[in-house]
Amino acid sequence: MKKIYKDLTRIILSAILLVLSFFMKENSLLYFISLLGSYLIVSYELYIHAFHHMLEKEFFDENILMILATIGGFCIGEYREAVLVVLLFQIGEYLSEIVTNRTKESITGLMDLRSDVIHLIRNNQTLTVSTKNAKKGDIFEVLPGEVVPLDGTVLEGESLLDTSSLTGESIPRSISKDEPVLSGMVNIDRVLKIKATSTYETSTASKIIDLMEHSNDKKTKTEKFITRFSKIYTPVVVLLAILIAVIPMLFGSDFEKNLYHALVFLVMSCPCALVISTPLGFFQGIGRCSREGILVKGSNELDQLTEIDTIAFDKTGTITEGTFQVTHVYTKKKKLDLLEIAAHCEVFSNHPIAKSIVSSYGKEIDRGEVCDFQESSGKGITAKYRGVVYYLGNASYMNDQKIEIDSQPIDGTVIYVASAKGYLGYLIMNDQIKPNVRKTISSLKKLGISKILLLSGDHRKTVEEVSQKVGITEFYDSLLPQDKVAKVEELTKTYKVAFVGDGMNDAPVMKCANIGISMGGVGSDIAIEASDIVLMRDDISTIPIAIMISSFTKKIVKWNIFLAISVKVLVLLLALLGFSSIWMAILADVGVTLLSVFNTFIIALKPLKKPR
């Protein structure tokens, strides 16, 4: 912000000196000093930037073009025009910087999530310390109006939480004992006592801020093209300007007149509109997505989203709620409490099914009675409970353990239970489909997503039933994590694929897809880090919104490129023919730059027409 005020001060001082020159006698010493002062005040940063670029072996850029054009203007006595060229150039840069900063502020405003202090409860006393000093497992209080400093689980209290900074959702969320809360949420009306499940560095708020701070690091193909184009374009322009000034002299033409035309050519050729508006356009698109509760990790990811023609969805936690309920328990031994055994054995697992079994049990669990816990990803677990080794998992896992199970049609997700002595029974679990999933699938098809698949580790009957309910015709069941990876890798050979998931097992699949999309709330840390786009509302209905923003952003960027190149080519041709003036060059260059910059505002302001 200080730089913006400093730049504005320089521009105002330079403009004042330029205006004063009109009240002075032309070619007098005072007249020359006034214009030279105006020029130096507004242009010294051009020389500094050009010097630094030369040290980095970048000898041709817009700074060099401006310097050559203005020095040439002074050489032929066009003092006011030379000053005006650089003054208008700096005004354009200043306005561009304001637009960029406002976009950044709109993002950081949404991402102003972290609390620097935390009220820790230790030895029945409340200590206010730096959040960086808090540890996982600490108990802390959050007062009304305060930001939740760390992810955690509510121990005491009920309150409403404002989650808009995280999800974009304006309706407050009711929270009570044993429910999870995320850092960045704002406590509205009552005191909450919370047990930390993260540290300052691993909290949701820190991860989101890190994502946004690095969101513009990776360049798109368009931006890379503009960078390469500028490196070739600028030296070619300088060479042409020299030829415009020198060649007509060989045929007896006036040197000063030719030099003027060469300067017009230099001023007009400055690629400011291309260099500024392209990254700014994508940055505006990222900002618009963040306001919709969609975190895009970079402009490259936003650009690639327009190319997606295939989307593969994970089922549990993505298409469905991921909150299973045990709806039936079958045991071969009537006195055996199969649900109690299953809940104790699954207590150390983070899988949604394991958590749902524990939740369905609903009683206090003594973790000290469970040991030797082992988890086989995508299959099941082995654990010792009260001295007995138990096996819990799907049919494939039971087969691996050489345990024979009942073969029967089952409506729902089945978890088989066995001990070292043999098969004991099973639990049937059912999951609910998230609202608006069918409508979202329909919207994606209307946006040109030609291929939509469902990939799941669940058995065929359940996956088929879910697919039919949401309108997905192609599905694959009984997939292990490596099977999902193989399937997505196969798809990427023919299609541009996005994979949408939430669990730890989905992280490798996201990495091999063209675009990985994860759930920000229920998603695992690894899945969020592996993905390119994070849906903070855990709502796949925001995917069509992200695609529309991506498509519109790219359209604006392409229009800006077309506008800049078209106007420049026209005025450059006029300059070559000797019909353009330096005033025309100034207006065309700065005008196109400003028009391109303000055109990017449409990305942030245009209402989205959501497909029906």
Q: Hey, which residues are catalytic here?
A: 314
Farthest-apart Cα atoms in the chain, separation: 112
Give which of 72, 147, 155, 151 is closest to 113, Cα–Cα.
147
Give which of 145, 123, 134, 114 is closest to 195, Cα–Cα.
134
Give which of 114, 43, 57, 44 is closest to 85, Cα–Cα.
43
Distance (Å, rounded) from C-alpha 234 to C-alpha 340? 74
Distance (Å, rounded) from C-alpha 287 to C-alpha 215? 10
Buried b (16+ CB within 10 A) or exposed e, 391-429: bbbbbebbeebebebeeeeeebbbbbbbeeeebbbbbbb
Q: H or E element: which one contains 207? A: helix 204-213
Distance (Å, rounded) from C-alpha 204 to C-alpha 510? 20
Distance (Å, rounded) from C-alpha 165 to C-alpha 381? 38
Buried b (16+ CB within 10 A) or exposed e, 459-484: beebbbebbeebebeebbbebbbeeb
Distance (Å, rounded) from C-alpha 355 to C-alpha 381? 13
Please enumerate in sequence order all residues whose Cβ is within 8 A of that of 281, keeping only pairs 6 or more positions apart, or say none: 553, 556, 557, 560, 600, 603
Distance (Å, rounded) from C-alpha 54 to C-alpha 460? 64
Distance (Å, rounded) from C-alpha 479 to C-alpha 103? 43
Long-range contacts of 111-114 (CB under 8 A, 24+ apart): 111/165, 111/208, 111/209, 111/212, 111/290, 112/165, 113/147, 113/165, 113/166, 113/183, 113/184, 113/204, 113/205, 113/208, 113/209, 114/147, 114/149, 114/183, 114/184, 114/200, 114/203, 114/205, 114/206, 114/209
